[in-house]
Each structure stands twice: as C-alpha cells, then as structure tokens.
Chains A and B, each alone.
Chain A
Amino acid sequence: MSATNGQMSAANGQPTLSIRGLHVAVGDVEILRGLDLDVPCGEVHALMGPNGSGKSTLANALMGHPDYEVTAGSVHFKGQAVLDLETDERARLGLFLAFQYPAEIPGVRVASFLRMALNARRSEEISVMAFRRLLLDKMKMLKMAPRFAERYLNEGFSGGEKKRNEILQLAVLQPDLAILDETDSGLDIDALRIVADGVNTLRASNLGVLVITHYQRLLNYIVPDRVHVLIDGRVVESGGKELVHRLEAEGYERYEDAVSRQEA
C-alpha cells in the first residue's frame, strides 16, 4: 500500500488524481478491495493486471458509471472530491475515459457530437470555423481521413477505428487526466504507433495519463513513469518502467499465489 506514497514528491508536484482505500462492488460482488493510487499531472502511469482483476471496474468507478457502487474510500481529482459528482460533472472537471468498448450512437455524426462535447466544457461556444480547424488538425495528427468526421459515432466502426476515435476525442477535448482502457487491443502495429504518438504529444502539455493494459506492447511506445500491478482488486506492487519487462517475462502468477496464500 505504501508503494504509491513516494509519488507525492514527483517532479510535476501535486497528484492530479488521488485514490484512497477504494472499494467498489458490482451487484453483490466486491471487485475493488481497498485500492490506492496517485497520478500526478504530466505523468503517465500504467495499470497492469490479468483479465478480471478489476481494471475496467476502476475506470468506470472513476468516471461514475451508475452500475459500479463505491462502498468505501475516496477519490480526489484536482483537489476536489469527485465521488458525489455525476459523470458529466467529472468530465467537465477534466476527467476522460477512453473506453474499452465505446457505445454506438446511430445518426449522430462524430463532428457534431464532438462540437457539442467541447462546448459543454467551455463557457463560450467555439465558432463553427474554429472547431472545424481544431478537428481537422487533430484528425491529421492521428492520420484520420476528414470524411471520418461525418460518420455516425462508432456505428459500424472497426475495433481499431473505435479506439482511434476515442483518442481523437481525447485530443479535441483536452482533459487534465485521461484513462486509456485497453486502447491497444484491436489496433494493428501502425495504428498503435500513431495513437501512441498522439498520446505522447498530449503528454507534453501536462496531461496525466493512466494507461490500462495487460500487455507490454503499448508501453513500448508510451513509456510510463510508473507502473502499478493490480491483482484481485488491489494494487500489489508499484515501480518504474522496468516492472513492465519483468511482468512480461514472469507473468502475474507469483502475485496471484501470494494473494491466495494471504486469503487462505
């Protein structure tokens, strides 16, 4: 548990996201069981763990999905307690989740949706022309064809297109902290590189990132400042980027053994 404490004094100063003793249940089942984590602004943290360890549960609990019930613990974002906020309020505060499985919204064009979302977090509406420029600029960065903006949101998108569209939204909305939930799955190697370049560009402008993955692949391109291992609803180890390679070589077995010993 104390593994995360050292980050408080990290180069970029204040933790932008600070999670303490978080317990989350879905239905009757407790999935997160006392999770602690800090992500300072401008840093990239990786959260790695086997399937079913609770990675997406954490992402959804942070974003305020109504099915995920927080039973104990606290979450602060930019100094503000967020657990009582609605999902949209958290978003407007600067929290962003790139979904593992984004929803399809038939009939709603990517461009018009994004303009609405951008206006939702601005005090003054962006002009149509300025928005157009911004959107085309970000699409170019992600090597997306302009006509993509006229497609219906996620409808009929390939797995890779959906992921790239999530990163496009991230680039346009410019939140303070982005959670990328398995953004690498479904991307071929070229797309992976493009998406990683995009995230690295945003990272330079003080974006905090929590990269959720269970493979090393993406982390070769988005090199994390810190790595956390999630097993069975708890962070069991945190370390530098070298941890990625060890996990890749050894897998999660030893943690799982430790956890089951502890529980026995």
Chain B
Amino acid sequence: MAVTSVDHVGLDTYKFGFHDDIKPVYTSPKGLSEAVVREISRQKDEPAWMLDFRLESLRQFERKPMPTWGADLSRIDFDDIHYYIRPQDRQARSWDDVPDDIKSTFDKLGIPQAERKFLAGVGAQYDSEVVYHSIREDLEKQGVVFLDMDSGLREHEDLVRQHFGTIIPNGDNKFAALNSAVWSGGSFVYVPAGVSVDIPLQAYFRINTQNMGQFERTLIIVEPGAYVHYVEGCTAPVYASDALHSAVVEIIVKEGARCRYTTIQNWSSDVFNLVTKRAVAYRDATMEWVDGNLGSKVTMKYPAVYLMEPGAHGEVLSIAFAGSGQHQDAGAKMVHAAPDTSSLITSKSISRNGGRTAYRGYVQVLPEAERCRANVECDALLIDDRSRSDTYPYMDIEESNVTIQHEATVSKVSDQQVYYLMSRGLTEEQAMALVISGFIEPIVKELPMEYAVEMNRLIELQMEGSIG
C-alpha cells in the first residue's frame, strides 16, 4: 500500500493543483466531446487507464437515456456547459459578479470576508489552508490519506485504480457516466485498519476551488476496524456559474469499520444538483449518510448502502428544504444482500412558498438474506397550501423472514403551535422557524456542532420576510 508516499505531497503542489506555470490557461469550450474529455485527461497528465475510463464513460453517457422519473430535467442544456475549467481560471470571476442576494446572506450569516470570496467562487486563497496543513500532519502520522482526488490519483495510483468506479460503475446512470467522463476534484480518503480518526475530515478545510467543482469525484476506503467521519459542503450558499453539479461518491467500509459521511448542500437556486452516492458495507460494518439539502433548483440524490455481509448496518438521515421554485427529490436506497443486516432511513422534508419535496426510497432484501431489519420513517412538513410533498417508498422483499417497518407522515405547522409560541413573546417568524427546527432536530443533532448552529440560523433566515 502506497500510504507512505503522502510525505511527498508538497503543499505548493497541493494548493493550485497545477504548478506548471508554462501550461496555457485552459477552459474547455462549451459542450461535450471526445476531444474535450481527452484534453481534460491530458491537462491532468493522467495515466492511460484513466483516460480509457473517461472515454468509455463518455460513450455510456451518450447511450444512456435521461431519467424520466423524479424531477424535471428537460431544462439542462448539455451543450451550454463548460466541462472543465482549470482551478486557477475560476478565480477570474470578480466579486461584482456575485448576485446581491448571496452577498446579503453572507452578511446575515456573518461569514468572514476571506471565506465569502471563496464560497462565491471568487478567490482560491483561504486561511484554512493553514488549518488543513496542521491537521494533515496529524493524519499522516496515523497513515491516513486525505487529498483531493487529482492528487490522490497521482500519489496513490494503485489504490485508486483498484477501487475507482467499482462501487458506482460508469454506466450506472446517465449522470454517473457524465461524472466519470469529466470528473475533477473531490476527495480521496484512505483510513488504515484500526485507525479511528478523531476529528471530522472536512472538505472545507482542504479548501481550494477544486473540491467545489461541478463534477467532483470522491473515493473513501475505510479498512477493517477503522472509523472516519467525512464532512462536505457548508451551509452558506455556494454560487456556481455553471448550472449543473453532478458528483459521484464511492465508499468502501470493510469489516467492523464505520464511516459517516455528512453533506450540507446549499447551492444557489439555479443549480441542478444530481449526485450519485453509494457505499458498500462488509461484515459488522456501519455506513451512515447524513444529508442536508437546502439549495439548488433541482436535487436528485439517493444515498445508497449495499449491506454485503452479516452484521452490516446502513443508515440514511436526510433533510430537504424546498422553497419557491425548488424541487428536492431525495431519499435513500438500502440493499440487504446478506442475512442479519439492518438499515434505518429517516427522512425529513420541509416545503414552503410553492416548493416541492419528494421522498423516494428503495429497500431491497435479496433471497436468503434472513433476519434482516429495515426501518423507514419519512416525515414531511408543509408550511403553506401552495407547497407540495410526495412519498415514493419502493420495497422489493424477496425473503420472508424479515422485519420491515415503514412510517410516513405529512403535517403542517399548526396555528395552535404558532399561537402558543407567540404567546410567550416570539414573533410569528421566530415561532415558525422554531417549529421547523424542532421538526428536523432528530437529524440536526447528528451534525457537527457548528453545522447544527448554522443550520438553525439558516432556517431562521429562510423564514425571514416569508410571512405576510
């Protein structure tokens, strides 16, 4: 295992992803073609097998039909997207180009100036580089690898080659195929056997423009008995100039290991956010997806866990918040492929101001996967009469000796609740926000502290000025 070679990654190399100043500035022309894919791979100086993988993925993408279920994707114009922009070129955007509503949200959230520019895609430099540096030194001592995916491929080619695309094959779905063809950035995490990483690994620390790319690719390998919590995203709105975000995340959790992957997504309201996330969990392993979807125009995201061996446990905790013009189609997929496996899906959605949420879940129990337990709970909260929530719970149970529970509720914030809280001095907006934060509490309490605080603050902001 090439773990030790982490030492060779200099920070300078890391910071810009490319340090060869002689290379011409490169932004791919709009639209997708074999030439574009070849150029991306050439720019990154990738091994031939990765180029082949990309080209094969492009063919898959061209063959695959658009999903006809879920949200309306007809407005995506694949010809009107830059599939690759070198990180340093992204900085070219100026602060003046950032929309006012995003700037004012930064104000309200109290985001430091340096961070704002990063979040708005204006600057690449960020103070947390220093934080990341010291964290990485600690991690390296334990043999933990935490790199952006491009560096991961360079520094740990064997490990990447062995696992890349094995959990989510490039032909899995149209958007996974697209990501496989044009991916850039994302994270590569490797945790050696028995190592418990005691701080959450935050993509946020390892900040540069790459990990906020539109086509991130993340691979996490957790060896037997190890533990890691990976956190991506942030509650502040992320301003993207291109309107498609299509990431792929693959996770392997080996015997007795545990992995938690937390996402807080708050893309600006013009983004199509179509993400494929899947983990495999082996004997007595635990995989937990904690997923918060606040922003974007359309989100389609169904984190999956394949429970491969007895004792494996999978969880998905998700929150979706849809406001005006937003459609959050989110859910989970659990595949019980072995006896004595268990899964838990808890989904909470909030729709307001004409927003639309859907829970779309799939629980599958394969033949002879005896004594499995699956529990699904999805609760929807509607803030007004114009908003909408749907539930699509699919079950495919091919074994009789199992325990399956499913519970779905749809509720509204009751006038009685709001009146009660107002009678104690809270404004109507505060009262609404408090009822909502109570509704998602079971999930928010699983978030790292600073995210939980921001999440509640954000919901207050969303409610501000929303009551006439």
Contact = CB atoms under 8 A, between A and B. Distances in A.
A91 B423 contact: yes
Interface string B419-460: 111111111101100110111111000000000000000000
B416, B423, B426, B430: which has the most chain A beta carbons within 10 Å? B423
B437 A108 contact: yes
Contacts of A96: 423
B4 interface: no
A88 interface: yes
B77 interface: no
B425 A105 contact: no
Contacts, number: 78
Nearest to A154: B420
A101 to B, nearest CB: 8
A102 B438 contact: no
Interface string A79-90: 000000011101
A97 B424 CA distance: 8
A191 B438 CA distance: 29
B5 interface: no
Given A103-B416, A103-B417, A108 B435 contact: yes
A28 B73 CA distance: 50
A181 to B, nearest CB: 11
B424 A105 contact: no
A66 interface: yes
A120 B426 contact: yes
Interface in B324-349: none
A235 to B, nearest CB: 23
B415, B424, B437, B439: which has the most chain A beta carbons within 10 Å? B424
A108 B419 contact: no
B414 interface: yes
B444 to A, nearest CB: 9
B429 to A, nearest CB: 10
A151 interface: no
B415, B422, B425: which has the most chain A beta carbons within 10 Å? B425
A90 B419 CA distance: 12
21 contacts: A66-B419, A67-B415, A88-B423, A88-B425, A88-B428, A91-B422, A91-B423, A102-B420, A105-B417, A105-B435, A106-B439, A108-B437, A108-B438, A108-B441, A116-B426, A117-B426, A120-B425, A120-B427, A120-B430, A121-B425, A169-B424
- Enumerate the 9 nearest inter-chain pairs by beta-carbon distance, A residue then B residue, closest first: A107-B438, A107-B441, A120-B425, A108-B438, A103-B420, A117-B424, A91-B425, A87-B422, A88-B422
